Structure 1
Amino acid sequence: MNHRFLSVVGLAVTMAFTAGCSANKPVADVEQEISAVAKVAPDTTEAVADSIPVWAPKKDSFNPSRTKQHDLLHTKLRVSFDWEKQYLNGIAELTLKPYFYPQNSLVLDAKGMDIHSVNLMNDYDATPLEYSYDSLQLIINLGKTYTRDQEYVIEVEYTAKPNELPSGGSDAITEDKGLYFINPLGDDPGKPRQIWTQGETEANSAWFPTIDTPNERMTQEVCITVDPKFTTLSNGSFVYSRQNADGTKTDYWKQELPHAPYLTMMAIGDFAVVNDKWRDKEVNYYVDPAYKGTAKKIFGNTPEMMEFFSQKLGVPYPWAKYSQVVVHDFVSGAMENTSASTFMEDVQLNERELLDKSWDGIIAHELFHQWFGDYVTTESWANLPLNESFANYSEYLWAEHKFGAEEATYLQLDEKEQYLQEAETKREPLIRYYYKDREDMFDSHSYAKGGRVLHMLRKYVGDDAWWASLNRYLTQNKFSPVEIAELRMAFEDVTGEDLMWFFDQWFMKPGHPELLVEDSYQNGQLSLHVVQQQDTAYVPVYRLPLKVAVWVNGKRTEYPIVINKADQTFTFPVTTAPQLVLFDAEQQLLGVVEHDKTDEELVYQFRNVDQLAPKLEALTTLDEKLANPEVMSIMQQALRDNFWYVRSTAINVLSSLEKEKAAVVEEQIRQIAQNDKKGSVRADAILALAGWYGNKYSNLYEKVMNDSSYQVAAAGILAYSSTGATDVGAKLAQFDDTGNEDIALALSSYYALQGGVEKQDWFMEKIKQSKGSNLYYLLQSYGAYLASYSETNTPEAIALLSDIAQNNNLYYVRLAAFQALMVMSERPEVKEILEKVKNNEKDKRLIEMYEQL
């Protein structure tokens, strides 16, 4: 809960080709691409003028945790819905007491509601209380002064109107109106009627009055009154369902262990509920009925994850049950509501899609939050990495356990790249009390960088101390809000070491180390010169304990070193000139390392280092040395590597070969295209053959268009469309009705430039059916299509794009629709629509981007 600003015509086709043939791109990655590039131009100009790095931390306002005047002990909600108006009618009964100091008034967060009454309750007796309300906070005169040992109960009757709130959001959570009605009138036959909530960061106060801060905790009851045809879900245990005289039913859910108000949830819809189990607790999967048959294949590793995390942490999964619900038009990737995580609809896969894709990472992420975020909760959004960094790192932990070290490392390399991309324009401390908006905390610092920092901490203290420290942190702080000091002290209590230096440089300071490394040999001595090149006006000189691996006469020796100066030289006795020096032997460091190696050293590195990152470094660094027979030899070796991404990388490096020079690997690539066990690798091989040989392998391309893997089939479509065959249009048309995003994007990339005006209906129908990142890329291709065929610039096309640009719940999808409209901007009615979109847009990210156009 997890970005490139693209021109419509220039990059649309390229992006569609890429998206159609790669693994599913997370929503957060699309957002990051947009955000990263959109920020560069204006910030860079300003930075040059002031001689300040574009990424220099910004000094915004200080944001401490919220002062606790009252302690919210319990919340009981009775809710029903007006689907037509998209209102929630509610009665909230709140049990509170002063936190420490005596209080005679109470301030509740309540956004955009109609407040009908406020009463002090004594059993069933209600005493009206005076109150004032400014549409954001409800200020109640309690009528007397209460001390910290006196509890009282407030009842608020209200109507929540979430659609009338101004919109906001972040890269992780694209809207913040709290309560969402999906297809409320049932007028969209392709979408179910649903209601669901999303509370993070402080959006639950848009549908019930509360103290909406992460350092508050409450138990809760939720009574949901709906049509009996709907299934409901909330936190905690399902207690009963009562049939009402008016034909409705009321479902009663009870959460007996305390949690933060932002973790309260509801989901209402026509769900198929698939039952599973972990130990003696219910594990349930709520999905669209069409995916009932594959729900266990999508979510089925959940009980094993629960056992793995419970055993490792020494803290059994703490909540009454664990449910996972898939909803439509979700405003994030997923959300870790206590005992009931919510997921975007992209996670729903059919049997064929399951051949290529797995959502284990996001499933592990939300599950680990049940400990890190729910059981122990950050006291303020400034400390968000205490939630998100751990959830991010759980993806590595699960992959390492279930799929092996290389799969886990692959994930971490991607995380490192995400952070470094963001660091080009933004470098902040992980724990940052100075920010403009709390939503700014949901970035690749809190997620990707934080996960990598935790990995370094684990490597430093060792596995036994790592798990013992996490156990101490969880058990000492259970059901409590925490800040970074509590995590540090847990590790110090276990290890006996003062770790302030580690937490200070990695959590409290911005940036990362940028190292220049040089090695030299002379007279039986290896010298290693390390210079920290980062700008120390903003970034610290780091203390970096790590290992250096040296190969001499085919034998590997590791030397521990501690880098703690800006310029240092280390020496090691060796018997002869080393064959290879590998800096950071465990490949655990988050940073940028510049260490030049000869071609011979890189070849040796590939053949002798059994780690993913050094292998990939050798392949990608030698990409322009393919004329060297030794380099070509390791490329061929890489094509036989056990790990799929090494094979994929080798194919992509080799694809740059000229046709005549590709003959040496042609047969090997052809065999991979037909037989590799990994669909994405087969797809890469097919595209490589197409790039070299055009229609030579037309029969193969035609065959794989019907491959069991959608990724391979999409590659076959792209490859066949590049042959120039006279029947391309007819061959591709047979896939027009295939309901898969990879296929749709592959077709759209061809139709964008060569589909002809007759594909207008296809584009419009696919756009109506698509969602999320798939819709974003499809709109890119559609913009190119509109530019290629002016006859398609119809009022219907304009109306469709106008609706998306103004009303889609995802800001980056609205952006893509706006870009497609710009193709027709010479038309007065389109120019008027573009101005209307710009003037009515409330999302600050889009407002900034539109101002650049």
Structure 2
Amino acid sequence: MKTFFLWSIASLYSIFSIAQDSPSQIDIVDFKTAAVDIYVNENSEIISGTVSYNLTILKDTPSLFIDAKNITRYDVKVDGKPVKADYNEKQIVVESRFRESATHDISIEFSTQPNTALYHIDKDNDGKWDQIWTQGQGKYTSNWLPSIDDMNDKIVWDISITAPSQYQAISNGVLLETTEVDKNRKWQFNMDIPMSSYLIAMVVGNYEVAKKMSASQKQMELYYYPEDLQKIEPTYRHTIKMFDFLEQEIGIEYPWKVYKQIPVKDFLYSGMENTTATIYSDQFVVDDIAFNDGNYVTVNAHEMAHQWFGNLVTETSGKHHWLQEGFATYYSMLAEQEIYGEDHYYMTLFENAESLIAQTKAGRGTALLDPNASSLTFYQHGAWALHALRGEIGDADFKLSVRTYLKQYAGRNVTTDDFLKIVSNTSGKDMSEFKNRWLT
């Protein structure tokens, strides 16, 4: 029950995935790439920088917007020329003659003082921050970075961070280079697959890193505080084994070149699956003895599975949230079965069923496709649905369906019907009854 309890805590952030609604403009403009250059001030909590977007206009429009909150200063240019822009506390609205099929570069120089989504942590209570981390799920990244809240507009993000040289900066993707800038250091990261902005990560702090290699030659970067050298093995125990298992079980190689895991202090939840860079609570940093009482294994497996389910393929809206959380929960259960055995897997299924039954008896049960469902429904009910689906169509068709689904929608957004159509085509079975019984 302890493992299940910790897993439940990890699940709580799912309720924020649909917490903020922003107008959609995906039928008007397609943001292609973003180059972010962030400056972190050692003596301030103000974040400043520049973000430059390359975009294509899909339909004539006199203006477009970039989501932005807590902005204290901004300057906008289109194709290198200053343009009129207004700020309404939620978006920077850029005015220009945007013509269909035209491509443009929009750059925003800005400063922001975020009150959420990016946190300065004073670990030693000396009145100065010594760690920064972000939490973007819930469409919160725009609280510190002018970005696109709509998860259906996926962008290739390249991020650079200039921070005090005594710290290490970590973000999504491969580290290309570091350069010295006065008393600071600039870290430049590269991504090559588009992703939703809620998956952007930034961590600045005092870290060392243990580098490992998966069976498929993917680099694993396991970060730790310098004083926790002896806790690396128990904290990250089974990480490589689970990673190798998930690649084999899912049938799709991990899509990126590097996978990082970074502990932070006072994290809001147990973990967050930012693309290539999972951030997790440093309460899971344990030694050999503490490992037996509570450890990172379940959270580790869950956030790892999200790299495929949620990051590579992303829901279109909260109605289809189980495509992320149900899948991540199910595959983390399979990864734990690989470590702890079949009895552990079925005991987890049983505990999940008991919790779902209790929720229903309390009058709080909802359909899995209800966008206002509880995290218990999205996660545990979603995992149960996949367990049932595998039993219904057979192991071979289930695996082929998942592989086809990930290949067909890689870098894109999906609905439940997109997935079920692939299952039906693969298995030759009508999924109407399954959808009615398990999802609606």
Normalising by the residue count of structure 2, what TM-score does the alignment of the two structures yield? 0.92
Residues of 1 paired with 2:22 and 2:433: CA distance? 23
8 A contact 1:78–1:92 mirrored in 2: yes
Residues of 1 paired with 2:104 and 2:90: CA distance? 23
1:207-246 equivalences under 5 Å are 207-244=144-181, 246=182
SS of corresponding position for 2:245: helix
Which structure has the highest strand share of the two? 2
Candidates 331, 338, 359, aligned match of 2:296: 359
Deviation at 1:318, TM superposition (A): 0.7
1:347-426 equivalences under 5 Å are 347-423=284-360, 424-426=362-364
Cα 1:479–1:223 shift into 2, 3 Å: same
One-letter amino acid of the counterpart of residue 217, structure 2: D
- Residue 86 (structure 1) aligns with: 45
SS of corresponding position for 2:125: coil
1:628-675 Cα offsets, whole Å, 9 max, x none, are: xxxxxxxxxxxxxxxxxxxxxxxxxxxxxxxxxxxxxxxxxxxxxxxx
8 A contact 1:372–1:387 mirrored in 2: yes
Moved over 6 A (4+): none
1:183 equivalent to 2:122? Answer: yes
One-letter amino acid of the counterpart of residue 474, structure 1: L
Candidates 47, 54, 57, aligned match of 1:95: 54
Candidates 183, 186, 204, aligned match of 1:268: 204
- Residue 500 (structure 1) aligns with: 432
1:179-328 equivalences under 5 Å are 179-183=118-122, 187-188=125-126, 193-244=130-181, 246-278=182-214, 279-328=216-265
1:120 equivalent to 2:57? Answer: no
Deviation at 1:292, TM superposition (A): 2.2
Candidates 369, 392, 401, aligned match of 1:431: 369
- Residue 18 (structure 2) aligns with: none
One-letter amino acid of the counterpart of residue 237, structure 1: V
Cα 1:23–1:31 shift into 2, 3 Å: closer
One-letter amino acid of the counterpart of residue 26, structure 1: L
SS of corresponding position for 1:208: coil
Residues of 2 paired with 1:414 and 1:233: CA distance? 37
- Residue 613 (structure 1) aligns with: none
1:537-589 Cα offsets, whole Å, 9 max, x none, are: xxxxxxxxxxxxxxxxxxxxxxxxxxxxxxxxxxxxxxxxxxxxxxxxxxxxx
1:363-762 equivalences under 5 Å are 363-423=300-360, 424-433=362-371, 435=372, 443-507=375-439, 509=440
- Residue 39 (structure 1) aligns with: none
One-letter amino acid of the counterpart of residue 134, structure 2: T
- Residue 741 (structure 1) aligns with: none
Which structure has the highest helix share of the two? 1
Residues of 2 paired with 1:117 and 1:490: CA distance? 46
Deviation at 1:139, TM superposition (A): 0.9
8 A contact 2:234–2:287 mirrored in 1: no
Residues of 2 paired with 1:463 and 1:488: CA distance? 16
1:34-88 Cα offsets, whole Å, 9 max, x none, are: x9xxxxxxxxxxxxxxxxxxxxxxxxxxx89945121111111111123544111
Residues of 1 paired with 2:40 and 2:137: CA distance? 22
- Residue 846 (structure 1) aligns with: none
Deviation at 1:384, TM superposition (A): 1.0
Residues of 2 paired with 1:66 and 1:384: CA distance? 18
Cα 1:266–1:282 shift into 2, 3 Å: same
8 A contact 2:235–2:286 mirrored in 1: yes
Residues of 2 paired with 1:23 and 1:415: CA distance? 12
Deviation at 1:349, TM superposition (A): 0.2
Candidates 94, 97, 110, aligned match of 1:144: 97
8 A contact 1:24–1:357 mirrored in 2: no
1:414-439 Cα offsets, whole Å, 9 max, x none, are: 22233333332322221225x4xxxx
Residues of 2 paired with 1:388 and 1:316: CA distance? 20
Deviation at 1:332, TM superposition (A): 1.3
SS of corresponding position for 2:367: coil
Q: Name the count of aligned residue pairs.
A: 430
1:110-141 Cα offsets, whole Å, 9 max, x none, are: 012123211113xxxx3111111111111110
One-letter amino acid of the counterpart of residue 379, structure 1: T
One-letter amino acid of the counterpart of residue 304, structure 1: K
1:156 equivalent to 2:108? Answer: yes
1:86-118 Cα offsets, whole Å, 9 max, x none, are: 1111211111112x3223311111012123211
SS of corresponding position for 1:468: helix
8 A contact 2:40–2:161 mirrored in 1: no
8 A contact 2:10–2:270 mirrored in 1: no
8 A contact 1:28–1:333 mirrored in 2: no
Deviation at 1:198, TM superposition (A): 0.8
1:172-202 Cα offsets, whole Å, 9 max, x none, are: xxxxx21111118x5359x982101111020
Unaligned 5+ residue runs, structure 2? 16-20
Residues of 2 paired with 1:442 and 1:329: CA distance? 24
One-letter amino acid of the counterpart of residue 449, structure 1: H
One-letter amino acid of the counterpart of residue 155, structure 1: S
One-letter amino acid of the counterpart of residue 363, structure 2: T
Cα 1:442–1:285 shift into 2, 3 Å: farther
1:282-310 Cα offsets, whole Å, 9 max, x none, are: 10111222222222332242222222111
- Residue 68 (structure 2) aligns with: 110
Deviation at 1:27, TM superposition (A): 7.3
Residues of 1 paired with 2:363 and 2:113: CA distance? 38
1:44-55 equivalences under 5 Å are none
SS of corresponding position for 1:294: helix
Deviation at 1:264, TM superposition (A): 0.9
8 A contact 1:396–1:409 mirrored in 2: no
Residues of 2 paired with 1:92 and 1:67: CA distance? 19
One-letter amino acid of the counterpart of residue 252, structure 2: V
8 A contact 1:65–1:380 mirrored in 2: no
1:698-743 Cα offsets, whole Å, 9 max, x none, are: xxxxxxxxxxxxxxxxxxxxxxxxxxxxxxxxxxxxxxxxxxxxxx
Cα 1:83–1:503 shift into 2, 3 Å: farther
8 A contact 2:41–2:163 mirrored in 1: no
One-letter amino acid of the counterpart of residue 88, structure 2: D
SS of corresponding position for 1:162: coil
Residues of 2 paired with 1:65 and 1:446: CA distance? 25
SS of corresponding position for 2:157: strand
Cα 1:403–1:249 shift into 2, 3 Å: same
Residues of 2 paired with 1:269 and 1:289: CA distance? 11
8 A contact 1:369–1:387 mirrored in 2: yes
One-letter amino acid of the counterpart of residue 213, structure 2: K
What is the aligned-residue RMSD (CA, Å)? 2.4
8 A contact 1:64–1:382 mirrored in 2: no
8 A contact 2:41–2:164 mirrored in 1: no
Q: Does 1 or 2 have the higher relative contact order (CA < 8 Å, sep 6+)?
A: 2
Deviation at 1:351, TM superposition (A): 2.2
Moved more, 287-296 or 336-345: 287-296
1:124-135 equivalences under 5 Å are 126-135=80-89
Residues of 2 paired with 1:499 and 1:25: CA distance? 33
Give identity over the alignment, percent: 24
One-letter amino acid of the counterpart of residue 86, structure 1: E
SS of corresponding position for 1:373: coil
SS of corresponding position for 1:337: coil
Cα 1:23–1:140 shift into 2, 3 Å: closer
Unaligned 5+ residue runs, structure 1? 1-18, 36-62, 164-176, 436-440, 510-853
Cα 1:248–1:83 shift into 2, 3 Å: closer
8 A contact 1:115–1:156 mirrored in 2: no
Normalising by the residue count of structure 1, what TM-score does the alignment of the two structures yield? 0.48
